Amino acid sequence: MKKYVDSFLELIYPEKNTCFICDKYDEEIGERYICFNCERKIKKIVPPVCIKCSKPINYDKPTELCKECSADERYFEASKSLYAYEGVIKNAIYNYKYYNKPYFYKLFGSLIIDHIKEENYSDYDYILSVPLHRSKLLHRGYNQSELLAKYIANNLSIPYIDGLKRIKRTEKQSEHSKEERRKNLKDAFLVKTSSDKIINSSVLLVDDIYTTGSTVNECSKVLINYGVSKVYVITIAR
């Protein structure tokens, strides 16, 4: 059955050598799904950055935290965001989430995989994703973070675990202050009872955007309290 599903997806989703941003076809694109011209328009996040959350900072001291990470308790070891949430990448993420383009996980996944390989990360026992509430999942039809996480896990040969569940429907986070986001997310997540294998493990938590970090921090808190040893976070942009 899987091979028939895969064949169907190949028919309805753009093939390799196609730029998902501008629809250009070029054999040099391969399975990166982005052309050179579009990629050079994306603003990468580069040092100096906060060692905890990747927020760009104005000083270059390797032990420094940004103001927010200095003031707030972070349950994750570190969060890495690859790009600034603006321009081409912002539009692409918006299309991915709200314009029924689930196949964009291939584009974002390939970019994240390249980064992980460049950094020689080897600390992850499992990969997880930030879950959607059931009502939002039914409305959208897919969880963009889950598609992304599964693609990364498959390509890096790291087991994917569907370990988190969102049990509380939360309002759109971008419309609230930092304190309101915290209250909004309180008791919003739990670890599924079938996920005992993640106890004493190191996991990579995947999401699309890092704004204040409230969502990934709450997920990390739930995972740490469940018995996970370390949580690392990676997002496309912030």
Can you give the CATH number for the domain in which 189 is found? 3.40.50.2020
**Strands 126-129, 78-83: parallel, antiparallel or unpaired by DSSP?**
unpaired
Q: Are residues 22 and 66 in the same domain?
A: no
Residue 11, pLDDT score:
46
Other Cβ atoms closer than 10 A to 6:
9
Q: Are residues 21 and 62 in the same domain?
A: no
Number of domains in the chain: 2
Q: Are residues 29 and 68 in the same domain?
A: no
Q: Are residues 8 and 78 in the same domain?
A: no
Q: Are residues 50 and 36 in the same domain?
A: no
Residue 96, pLDDT score:
97
Q: Are residues 207 and 163 in the same domain?
A: yes
Residue 14's alpha-carbon distances to 179, 199, 211, in angstroms, are 41, 39, 30
Q: Are residues 111 and 171 in the same domain?
A: yes
Q: Are residues 77 and 60 in the same domain?
A: yes
pTM of the model: 0.90
Question: pLDDT 10s per residue in the chain (238 long)?
Answer: 555 555 555 545 557 899 999 999 999 999 899 999 999 999 999 999 999 999 999 876 666 899 999 999 999 999 999 999 999 999 999 999 999 999 999 999 999 999 999 887 768 999 999 999 999 999 999 999 999 999 999 999 999 999 999 999 887 666 666 677 778 898 999 999 888 999 999 999 999 999 999 999 999 999 999 999 999 999 999 9
Q: Are residues 129 and 20 in the same domain?
A: no
Alpha helices in 79-213 (DSSP H): 87-98, 105-119, 134-140, 144-156, 178-185
d(CA 144, CA 5): 19
Q: Are residues 73 and 159 in the same domain?
A: yes
Residue 133's alpha-carbon distances to 82, 136, 169, in angstroms, are 26, 5, 6
Q: Are residues 28 and 107 in the same domain?
A: no
Residue-range definition of the domain harbouring residue 14: 1-41
Residue 121, pLDDT score:
72
Q: Are residues 137 and 59 in the same domain?
A: yes
**Residue 227 near residue 193, CB atoms below 8 Å:** no
